[in-house]
Each structure stands twice: as structure tokens, then as C-alpha cells.
Structure 1
Amino acid sequence: MLREFKNHIKTNLSFLVGSKLLIACSGGLDSIVLSKFCELLKLDFAMAHCNFKLRGDESDNDEGFVKLFAQQINTNVFVTHFDTETYAKDNTLSIQMAARELRYVWFKKLALDHNFDYVLTAHHADDNLETFLINLSRGTGIEGLIGIPEINEIFVRPLLPFSREEILSFAQENKLKWREDSSNSSTKYLRNKLRHHVTNELKSAVPNFLNNFKTTVSYLKQSNEFIKHQMVKLKKELFDTSEGGNVIKIPISRLREYGNPRTCLYFLLRDYGFTAWDDIEQFIKSQSGKQIFSNSYRLVKDRDYLLLSPIVEEISDRCYQISEEESMLMIPSGTLKFKEVLEMSDIDFKTIFVDKAKLKYPLTVRKWKEGDYFYPIGMKGKKKLSKYFKDEKLSLLAKERVWLLCSDNEILWIINYRADDRFKITPQTKELLKITIT
């Protein structure tokens, strides 16, 4: 097995050679064999051991064993103690999840503090099979079925191609000693139940089961890479960012052309934290204005489009004021600048000119509300903002981002859109005020 491990490192993980490595070592069979392999290959490594204080003297004896082993192979070992039960209770986690969080955070800190390039863990093929079955039982997607990643950020799992049987055989042949975790014999946890009652039976019933499983996972990984590549192309075709403000427009008609909107939406939206796929499938048939939220994003149905945008702090009740003496005002959508000029220049949607004598200070900037109206410049009569937005075909999210510049509660400018006719420059105007948004 040592030769196969060496070839695996050379062929697939050559970046580990010459790198500074940290091995997560519990003292169990797998991590002891991994540490021994790294010693025999003369890799540059130290070890890290977590004492979770969950098994009394047994936990302390594991710690002592790892320290002694580190001396025997002439490498450094970092040791830490965790009050795992308290952490689990305080954070409403299972003991297993609490221990996982604690150790991975500590490993990352060690890597940062001591300049380790990679952290090696001793997960192997049997662990991968158990993870596959756990994820399968939870109804996971394809990414859950490809199992444990061999490389994930700084974490590398060099033993992943090898079975527990191979690892045990090497340890016995080389007379290695290791610690047995008594909790591994308990069927309290799902992983242990699968190990004792499912995976062993599968391997017994089908002698080549583990190799067949590894082949299947390889196919799943290839399929997943193909899907990722296709999703990049699909996002380029479907994601329209012309709306601005970090809003992505997805045309529903184009989405339906792909024949399976639910699957497309799953791959398009999963990276934004959405999980309610049944609701989202019905969502595209719902009436305009419906919304679905993830922890950090929201999806809005707006006529023929789905609008995806980050959830931002609610600012609808904010109001800003600027006095006559001030020349600049910062608002969420940009910076307003006020400057007296002698004559008008080019006008665009970011610039207006008004008769300063018609203004009543302080000017205010606020969000629009239902019932607001203005007198569109160049037109006779007033118009409700809701009707103006509809005529301009503004989406629901675009309307939410509209700010109004007001004088004595009269709308002076729908910022970035249109000025009000009541404040326009006339032949009688003596003071011209240029207002811009940048």
C-alpha cells in the first residue's frame, strides 16, 4: 500500500511534496497510518490533536498516546482541549457537529498562525461510502452523492482512494499501534449504524462493492463537472444584469424553453441559498409581486421575469435633508451635488437644472410612497408615480430603489428618472441651480 500511496501523491497530489503540512491525528488507526506514510515519504509535517473531553480518561489517554507517537516519529504535535458539550449546548448543535466545528476552526487557525500550507485528514474510501449513504438518506442532490472532496480549500484527504481494510492490513504488517475509540462501537450515531449494519453487509454481499462504488463516484464527479460547465453557459444566456443595483433578471419564457424549469432553477439558484424547490417551481406560475427568500437573497416574480437580488437593510422610512448652504448630500443611491451656474448645459437622467428661487429649504430626499404624484417636465397636468413607473416599465425592484428629491413635500425630481415641471428654468429665472447624482 505504501507504493500505491506514494504513486497517488506523485500523480494526483504532487503539490504536497515540498509543502508544510499539518496532520489531524486522533490517535486512531487511520490518522496513525497517514502520519506514518508521511514520515516514510519524508514529507514536512507536524500533527494536531483535539481532546474533546467526551470520554473521560480515555480521551486523556488518546492525547498521551499521540504525544508519544509524535516523539517516536520525531515531529511536533499541537494539542488543544475543548469543552465540547457546553459548546454544543450553547450553539444548539449535536455533539458530532460541535466537535467538527471546533476542530476545523482550530485547524485553520493553526495553519494561519504557523504557516502550514495544507491540513491533511485521514478520511478513506469507507468514510466516503458512509457519507454517500448519509446524504442519500437526506435526499441530497448530486453534489452530496459525490461524497467527501479530496481537496477542499486547505484540507486534503490523501487516503480517500484506499479502503479501511487496506489501511488495517498495512498497520498490522508494520506492527503499528493505535487507539480504538470506544464510541465507534456505539450505534447511537447514524454513521456508526451504517458502518455496522449496512456497509459491512454490502461489502460482504458484493465482494467488489467498494471498488464499484469508487467508480460510480468518479462518474458522478464527471457528471457534476459537466453540469457546472453547462450552468456557466446557462447563466450567461439567462442572467440579465441590465436592471442594475445587483439585480439579476431571469426571463420565464426562456427558462421554460429548457424543458425542465425546476431543475434549471435548482442549479441556477442553489448558490444563493434557496432550498424550497417545490415552492419555487410553483412560484413561476404565481401572480406578479410574490416573493421567496433565502437567508441572504430574495426572488421576486415580476410579470414575465424572476428578479434575484441581495436582501438589503430596510431603508424605506429614511429621510435626508440638505440646507441651502450645503452643496453635497450622500444618499444610498449615490451623491447629490448642488451648484449654482450661469447657464444650462446638457441634460441627462443624472442631471437637472431648476429655478432656485422656487425652492423651499431644507430640501428633502425620501423614498416614494403610494399616492405620490408629480408634474412631469414637458407635460401638462400631474401624474401618479405608480402610473409613471408602469408606463416606464419599471420592475418591482427598480421601483423600490427610487428616491425623490422634494421641496416642501413637492416632488422636485424623481432621481435618475425625471424632473418636475413646476421647478423648470424659464426666461424669468435669475438663479440657476444644477443638481447631479453620481
Structure 2
Amino acid sequence: MSSSRNHIDYWIACSGGADSVVLVRLFKELGKSFGILHCNFKLRGNDSDEDENFVRNLAAEIKVPLKVKNFDVQKYIKMNGGNTQLAARNLRYEWFDEIKSKLEANIVLGHHKDDQIETFFLQLRRGGKLKGLSGMPKNRANYLRPLLDYTKGEIYNLAKINSWFWREDVSNKKSDYLRNLYRNELIPAFEDVESIKNQAIDLIEGFQSLLLLTEQYLTDQYDFSKELKVSFAKWDLMPYWMKHILLSKSELFPISVKEVERLRTSEKGKSLKTQSKAIWNEGDGFLIVNSSDKTLDFNCEIDLIRVEEVIFEEGIVFIDKDKVKGALSIRKWEKGESFYPLGMLEQKKVSKFLRDRKVDSSKKRSHFVIVDDSNQIVGVLKMCPDNRFKIDEDSSWAYRVKYLS
């Protein structure tokens, strides 16, 4: 992240609770350049507004910038589904991502060791994989959690010693939400609870190390910034959790490993798509590409020349002018369309022709056909003319169709 005299390096998410207030106070003590972010979800009536007022007063007292955003959680749920906690989390992080990107800053969160332990047990209950059981990282994608090594008790004690006041969220005392149930009832019910917590932290740290090693291994094996090919032989040898991380690093979420396993046993040419990515079954492996790669921009040059000027070169298609109706143009081919490939007396579907030419399934739709004014296919761009429209010994004039880029 860039840093200058007036640039704010850190934005601290502050609810008004003890953990985030301590974080704000510590950053002030350390002389850091920071601002405060506050989310008002309007879920607790007057208490929500009092939390906002508290944070506003805190920012004014220590003279740091403040950004406050109000959210309509119920509207979000109606539009996107989910529950209150999930909706609030998504709204919060969408805003944080926007701040992080626009202001080129780090987002600092007040999660502590007890939050980490609760997250671990929640993930365990949900059948979480390696990434979930690794918990929250201290530093990832410019999200910082500097309090993860400290317990809630240690943070409260620090606040009390320094007379740092905070707001208490009384809803945290209720076990209505699953996290609160674990926090208030289930985890405290363990015999020798401190020993259980320490074991959980040891497991989390072990999973984090394994996650880092796995991500490094996959980064060494594959270039995720480019088109990605994964052979079935390699895929079949990967443990489930490694497949999950591969899909995550390939930006294929929310496609699951189970869905890709089904794709693995489907016929060649089948695919799964997200808004930005697609994964294709290529017969001997998977091909992962940008969804946008399937609609390529192109630049094409169509000239009318005498047949005597024809010089056959790879990628240039020649069409007899007198055999076509009107001018030529280029368009994407449609499913089910056929033509007569050069040298053939029988029709072949464009899709079958491209497959016979060993064109990857993911790239078929990025090929274009040449058509005349009647929309008749007279050739396939970069490949060949339709046999009925080729130049021959009786031809006088030809269209030269050259793909430029």
C-alpha cells in the first residue's frame, strides 16, 4: 500500500465494543496514521444509534477521521436470501473491500483469540475443510487482525487498567445466534476448558501451516494468472482439501469439489461456469479459463482481389466472389449450424469440425464464421472456405479474408 504524509494507512473497524475500542486506543498510542469505520445495521433500535454516537465521540476525542455507513439488512435478505448474521457480514465486507480498494489502505479488525476458537468449532460443526479449520489469518489481502494472540479477558483488562470506556452489546449475552450459543454455553461446558482452547489453537496453527504449504505447492505447479490446465491424472491424486483450495485459487467459487467431480465423469466438452470463470472437461483433464475468453474481440480484413493475386497462407481464407450473395461479414456461429468443409461433399456441424481440428472445447465459441448477405456460412475464419464457395479454375475474383488479431 502506498504511504505519504496525508495518506491514511489503516482503517479500523470499530463497533464500539471493547476489542475494537482497545485497537483504536493502541493505534493512537503508537502514533499510527489511521481512521475509523463504523457500520450501523439498525438491528437493535436505539442501541444501534447509541453505538454510532459513541464511536463518533471517540473519533472526535482522539481527532481521527471517521466513516459511518448505515445498512438495510432486511432489504439485503429479501434480495439475496440468507440470515441476519450472514447478510450483515456480507454488507460489512463489501464496504470494507470498497474502502480498501479506493483508499489503498489496510482494514484492521478486532478479532481476538476467543473469536478464533469459536470460529474453529463452528467450522468443525459445519464440516469445514482445511481453509475453514485454519481460522482467521493475521494478515491476508490487506485485512489485519493484530489481536488474535490475545484473549477477550486480556483485552478487557487492558481497557480497564487504562480507563478506556466501551459499549457493551447486550445481544451478545443471548444465545439466539449459533456463535453466541458456542460462546456462552457450549465451549464453557467443556471440562478443563482452558486445555481444550489451547488444543484448538494448536490445531488451528497446524492447519494454517498446512494451508500455506498447500497454497505454495499449487502456486509452484500452476500459474493462476493464465489459462490453467489440470490433468485428470494429477486431479485424481489430490486430496479433497487440496482440490478445494485449487478451485478457490482459480476463482471458481461457488462451484464445489463435488460438482467438479461430477464434471470429471461427464462427457468431453461439458463445463461449469461462474460469472468470471469456467472449467471445462477436455477429455484428459480440466481447462480453467476466464468466462470472457469465450467471446473474443477480433479484427478482420476483407479484400477483393483477382485470382492471379492469390497467395495461400495459413490463416487466410479465400472465397469465390461470384458464388456468394452480396458482401461478406463475420459473426459467431450458432449451435447446430453446418457447412461443407473444404474438400468434403457432405455437411458437417461447425462444432464437430472444430472438435476434429483439435480445438479445445472452451475455445470453440471464440471462433467465427464468414457469411454472405443471405447469412449463409461460406467459411470458417482462420481455417477454410465452405467447399461450395472455394476458388477454382473458373474463378476470376476472390474475397481474401484475413484475421488480424
Alignment RMSD, CA only? 3.6
Identify the residue that residue 213 of structure 1 maps to in structure 2: 200
Question: 1:34–1:122: 8 Å Cα contact kept in structure 2?
Answer: yes
Residue 363 of structure 1 is matched in structure 2 by: 328
Secondary structure at the counterpart of residue 180 of structure 2 = helix
5 Å-filtered alignment, 1:208-287, equals 208-235=195-222, 248-256=228-236, 259-260=237-238, 265-270=243-248, 271-287=251-267
Contact 2:59 / 2:66 at 8 angstroms: preserved in 1? Answer: yes
Partner residue in 2 for 1:33: 22
CA shift for structure 1 position 102? 3.8
Measured at CA, do residues 71 and 338 of structure 1 come closer, stay the same or move farther in structure 2, by a change above 3 Å? closer
- Which of 123, 128, 147 aligns to 2:116? It is 128
- Quote the residue 1:59 is aligned against: 48
Q: Distance in 1 between matches of 2:370 and 2:146?
A: 62
Tell me which amino acid in the other structure corresponds to 2:200.
F
The structure whose RCO (Cα within 8 Å, separation 6+) is larger is 2
Whether 1:168 and 2:156 are equivalent positions in the alignment is: yes
2-structure distance, mates of 1:297, 1:183: 40
Question: What residue number does 1:339 align with?
Answer: 303
Shift of 1:383: 5.0
The residue aligned with 1:10 is none
* 2:400 is equivalent to residue 430 of structure 1: no
CA distance in 1, matches of 2:34, 2:15: 15
Q: Is the 8 A contact 1:261 1:281 kept in 2?
A: no
- Match runs of 1:20-419 below 5 Å: 20-107=9-96, 115=103, 117-202=105-190, 205-235=192-222, 248-256=228-236, 259-260=237-238, 265-270=243-248, 271-294=251-274, 296-311=276-291, 334-342=298-306, 343-344=308-309, 346-363=311-328, 365=330, 367=333, 370=336, 372-374=338-340, 376=342, 379=343, 381-382=345-346, 384-385=348-349, 388-389=353-354, 391-407=356-372, 411-419=377-385
Which is worse superposed, 184-193 or 35-44?
A: 35-44
Residue 309 of structure 1 deviates from its aligned partner by: 4.1
Matched-pair contact (CA < 8 Å) for 1:349–1:418: no
Query: Aligned equivalents of 1:97 and 1:179: distance in 2?
Result: 23
Using a 3 Å threshold, how does the CA distance of structure 1 residues 21 and 116 change in structure 2: closer, same or farther?
farther
Q: What is the one-letter code of the residue matched to 1:52?
A: F
Change (3 A) 1:176 1:418: same
After TM superposition, give the deviation of residue 427 of structure 1 in Å: 4.6
Whole-Å Cα distance in 1 between the matches of residues 239 and 67 of structure 2?
51
Counterpart Cα distance in 2 of 1:264 and 1:38: 38
User: Partners of 2:94 and 2:270 in 1: how far apart?
Assistant: 39
CA contact (8 A) 2:317 2:383 kept: no
Q: Is the 8 A contact 1:368 1:404 kept in 2?
A: no
Change (3 A) 1:251 1:416: farther
Shift, 1:19, TM fit = 5.4
C-alpha displacement of 1:369: 5.2
CA distance in 1 between partners of 2:57 and 2:334 (Å): 71
Indicate conservation of the 8 Å contact 1:185/1:192, yes or no. yes
Maintained 8 Å contact 1:84/1:95 = yes
> How far does the alpha carbon of each residue in 1:237-268 deviate from its partner, in whole angstroms, 9 at most, with x for none?
xx9x8xxxx6x554334544xx3475564343
2:175 aligned partner, one-letter code? T
Decide which moves more: 218-227 or 359-368. 359-368
Name the TM-score, length of structure 2 as normaliser.
Answer: 0.81
Verify the 8 A CA contact 1:341 1:433 in the aligned structure 2.
yes
1:416/1:305 Cα in 2 relative to 1: closer, same or farther (>3 Å)?
farther
Give the Cα separation in 2 of the matches to 1:24 and 1:261: 37
Which of 1 and 2 has greater Rg?
Answer: 1
Q: Deviation of residue 410 (structure 1)? A: 5.5
Counterpart for residue 3 of structure 1 = none
Instruction: Give the secondary structure class of the aligned counterpart of 2:194.
Output: coil
Task: Work out whether residues 276 and 291 of structure 2, in 8 Å CA contact, stay in contact via their aligned partners in 1.
Answer: yes
Q: Is the 8 A contact 1:21 1:116 kept in 2?
A: no
Q: Tell me, what secondary structure is at the counterpart of 1:360?
A: coil
* Structure-2 residue corresponding to 1:9: none
Q: What is the deviation of 1:417?
A: 1.7
User: In 2 relative to 1, CA 185–402 (structure 1 residues): closer, same or farther, beyond 3 Å?
Assistant: same
Contact 1:274 1:293 in 2 (8 A): no
- State the shift of 1:192 in Å: 0.5
Superposed displacement of residue 180, structure 1:
1.1
Indicate if the aligned counterparts of 2:294 and 2:362 stay in contact, CA closer than 8 A.
no
TM-score of the superposed pair, with normalisation by structure 1: 0.75
> What amino acid does structure 2 have at the position aligned with 1:334?
F
Look up the SS of the partner of 2:261 in the other structure.
Answer: helix
Moved more, 221-230 or 72-81: 72-81
Greater CA deviation, 19-28 or 367-376? 367-376
CA distance in 2, matches of 1:388, 1:108: 46
Q: Cα distance 1:227–1:182, how it changes in 2: closer, same or farther (>3 A)?
A: same
Shift of residue 185, structure 1, vs aligned partner: 0.4
CA deviation string 1:26-68 (max 9, x = no partner):
2211122112212222223333333333223323333333344
Give distance in 1, aligned partners of 2:4 and 2:147.
13
State the alpha-carbon separation in 2 of the partners of residues 380 and 275 from structure 1: 42
The alignment partner of 2:222 has SS state of helix
Bigger mean CA deviation after superposition, 413-422 or 159-168:
413-422
